[in-house]
A and B are shown apart, each in its own frame.
Chain A
Amino acid sequence: MIDRAVATRHLGTAASVLVALVPLVIVAVFFVLPVGAMLQRGLWPEGRFAPGAVLDVLARPRTGRVLWFTLWTSTVGTALSLALGLPAAYVLHRLRFPGRAVLRAVVLVPFVLPTVVVGLAVRELLGEGGLLGGLGLDGTPAAILIGLVFFNVAVVVRTVGVAWEGLDRRPAEAAAALGATPAQVLRTVTLPALRPAIVAAASVVFLFCATAFGVVLVLGGVRYSSVETEIYLLTADLLDLPAAAALSIVQLAAVAVLLAGVARLRRGPDPTVRRLPAAPACPTRRDLPAIGVTALALVGLALPIAALVAGSLRRDGGWSLAHYRALGGDAGGLLPGPVTDALTASVRTAVDATWMSLLLGGLVALTVTRRVRTRRARRVRAGLDALFMLPLGVSAVTLGFGFLIALDSGPLDLRTSPLLVPIAQALVALPLVVRTLVPVLGGIDDRQRQAAASLGAGPLRAWTTVDLAAVRRPLLAAAGFAFAVSLGEFGATSFIARPAEPTLPVVIYRLLGRPGVDNEGTAMAAAVLLAAVTALVVLAVERLRVPGTGAW
């Protein structure tokens, strides 16, 4: 009996090691290797370790400008996203009013819109002849900020809103009964309870702002460059690899510092949070300021989309469907085939990327939520958790370029493989998938499994009864998000998409790069098409009503 018990336990350990090993190997080959190769090019330029070149790059005045620009736009963008997102999170998740569900879904859409589409939409809104063209913001850092805030408000609303929704009302009532005014309740009870969520949202938004690629590339042109677009320019246009590697290292280090600092900040004095979803309340007069800010945010989210749709329908000063008809063509030979082919390619790629990231993310989630007893095992688990979050912090451009230079020889010569793009996109979507699944798996009360076992369920049966049942809908939601992210992925894809089979975001960028009214119109029509497909996927996900989806 004892021998058998020991054998079973060994088998269990072996299985969990295997479960952990698969994603580990994949991340090692398709993430650590390419990024490492990229860094190696910079630090060992001719086979010799020469960090001097990197330091030289950092001393360049342009590098300083780029770093400073990235830092301040990210900071301001984060602050603005919080200023708009926190009141909206309160209104959309804590108050009761008709149309709440629809508005919550609508707010989520910008988050998954392809960055190229967002950039284009903001440009259309602020540009000459745009609705807000009179403000003269086109081509200024303000335009970039608007773009950054546009798609990060959703992150704040989502992350903080979900936490706020689950916030027990009674501590606030206890404070009020002790004489605290509403403002004092907010300051002393509600905000401290929301702190982990706010810090998490702020750090993720900062990260997204600092590594934003498509938005800055489309709106900033060559005048304003962030670290991410600079890496792109240095590698793709100037072929200055040491400089690009230097910036990548700076970015990686900054992200690591940020994540470590955030982990520390998130840890309040008491990490346990009591969850007791509070029934939404009827709005009162005191809620008016928050409702006002929310309305402003909603208008702000709707305007660029409206501008984009309007732009795609206008030609020569009149309304026309010509740009949409042009989607059937190849833009006068600029593209290898009709734009609609790119959509097909995008969808096909996204399907592949989705199953890959789900498989990978599922294994990762299982690994990092596995209950461990020893301290060492816990440390290993924490290390794996951090490793799998890395793709969040590493520039997609770095990853894409790393793919190009690392996976070009021997058994790993995948440059012509149709799987290369999906793999890269799956890695980009991986943190999102993991973050959707982990809270659900980690939140399952272990006693449920014990109850199942005590009723005679074997490990596998207990797992399907308890874990699988809990994770089924989050898994679908994660699939939707992975699909949407992959559809819009541009940073890595722009490097590795095969010329003959570009994805839709790549096509849009190519169209924009070629001046001409028709090309721009076609780009807008393609962007509307891409946005519509993404929005549909996200709205379908939202209908699943998965608690905590997209909460970091």
Chain B
Amino acid sequence: MLRVEGVRVLLGEQRHVAVDDATLAVGDGEVLAVLGPSGCGKSTLLRAIAGLEPVAAGTIAWDDADLAGVPTHRRGFALMFQDGQLFDHLSVAANVGYAPRLRGAARRRVRGEVDDLLELVGLAGYGERLPRTLSGGERQRVALARSLAARPRLLLLDEPLSALDADLRVRLADDLRRILRDAGTAAVLVTHDHDEAFAVADRLAVMRGGRLVQQGAVAQVWAAPADAETARFLGYPVVLEGQAARRALTAAGASAPVDAGGGGDGGDGGGGGGAVQVALRAGAARISPGGALTGRVVALRARADGLRVDVDVEGLGVLPALAGGGGGGGADGGSFLPPDVGDAVRVDLVADRIAVLPG
């Protein structure tokens, strides 16, 4: 397994700290996603693991063997770049077969292996094409097949899907998870897109300003973000503090009990009157005739999953709320009338879409 301990990486002529005190571990067959905004140092961390950036402090080890001084090509970690970095002068088959040929495998065996891998990534028959004739998604698939052909003990994926458009990204993310699972290769995936991280990884490490701020199983990190900024980055559009947070908890508690962990924290925060923070996920607020909160509609936005209504909720501020047939809102039948800007509405908070942040 990969063990990274207290790693610090300095970049550029100014030697500014790109990664500081990073500690993480990746078990056999496990996929870890390092999630963070652009410029947070996540790609640098990945390059340091690959041996492409010198480490200023800390250790990177594989199965308890320190990798300091081991050059990139002897680490057995295949790195897949954001834009694939296919060798433009080589055909698709030659790209995929690059690593086996380096190992001196027989031409015939390489060809079989390449065909299998192209089949795996869904590009059977593309062998003779040149990289520049491929679409962005196809290039990334070839890059993935090329990395897998190296039979790496660890696969390093640097924003593998970021260069693709949204639609393709979702499909490829599912493919990527399936392929990684089938290959059984441990992988570190670096991305700024939480959907990509959720779709592919088993575990999540959130990185910000060169530091890892939270780690854990995907569901765990997602349910309990470490702080407000992490919550926003994980896709919670609203974070409430202080009085507003307590009011939101009460409202959610009034319609349904908050889950065990959150409830404890909530009680704590409510009692102490300290800096309690509550993060609301999309869909946490719903317009409902029986809602505990009152508010006024300030804007309407049509979205693919229904009408988004921005409601200025008394004591909480402006929240995006869901209005529409589904869920509790549709209780009184199909004759749902969308509200208008300026309407007074009642708003309900859904407990399992709320996360209480540790002070």
Contacts and interface: CB of A to CB of B under 8 A. Distances in A.
Q: Do these two chains really belong together in a complex?
A: yes
Contact of B103 (A179, A182, A274): A179
Interface in B210-267: none
B103 A189 contact: no
B88 A178 contact: no
B172 interface: no
Interface stretch (A58-66, A120-128, A265-273, A510-518): A265-273
A56 to B, nearest CB: 48
A253 B130 CA distance: 35
A173 interface: yes
Contacts of A178: 73, 78, 98-99, 102, 146-147, 150
Contacts of B87: 171, 174-175, 188-189, 192
Contact of A177 (B78, B90, B131, B132): B78
Given A177-B72, A179-B73, A272-B88, A184 B102 contact: yes
Most chain B Cβ neighbours within 10 Å, of A170, A184, A185 = A170
B168 interface: no
Contacts of B50: 173, 177
Interface in B182-216: none
Contacts of A269: 88-91, 130
B127 to A, nearest CB: 14
Interface residues of B, number: 29
A18 interface: no
A140 interface: no
Contacts of A272: 88, 132
Most chain B Cβ neighbours within 10 Å, of A173, A179, A268, A269 = A179
Interface residues of A, number: 23
Contacts of B52: 173, 176-177
Interface in B59-78: 71-74, 76-78
A317 to B, nearest CB: 53
A170 B73 contact: no
A532 to B, nearest CB: 36
Contacts of B73: 176-182, 184-185
Interface string A177-200: 111111011001100110000000
A179 B77 CA distance: 8
A199 to B, nearest CB: 13
Contacts of A274: 88
B72 A188 contact: no
Nearest to A181: B73
A361 B98 CA distance: 44
Most chain B Cβ neighbours within 10 Å, of A171, A185, A193 = A171
B151 to A, nearest CB: 9
Interface string B75-89: 011110100010111
B156 interface: yes
A119 to B, nearest CB: 41
Contact of B72 (A171, A173, A189, A268): A173
B95 to A, nearest CB: 10
Contacts of B131: 270
A171 B87 CA distance: 7
A174 B91 CA distance: 16
B98 to A, nearest CB: 6
B89 A268 contact: yes
A279 to B, nearest CB: 8
Interface in B276-293: none
Interface of A: 170-171, 173-182, 184-185, 188-189, 192-193, 268-270, 272, 274
23 contacts: A170-B81, A170-B85, A171-B87, A173-B52, A173-B81, A174-B79, A175-B98, A176-B52, A176-B72, A177-B72, A177-B150, A178-B78, A178-B147, A179-B78, A179-B102, A188-B87, A193-B89, A269-B88, A269-B90, A270-B131, A270-B132, A272-B88, A274-B88
Interface of B: 50-52, 71-74, 76-79, 81, 85, 87-91, 98-99, 102-103, 130-132, 146-147, 150, 156
Please provide the 4 A-B residue pairs with the shortest distance between their CB atoms, ordered closest to farther.
A177-B79, A176-B72, A174-B85, A270-B88
Given A171-B87, A176-B72, A177-B73, 15 more contacts: A174-B79, A176-B71, A177-B52, A177-B77, A177-B150, A178-B146, A178-B150, A179-B73, A179-B102, A179-B150, A185-B73, A189-B87, A192-B89, A193-B89, A270-B130
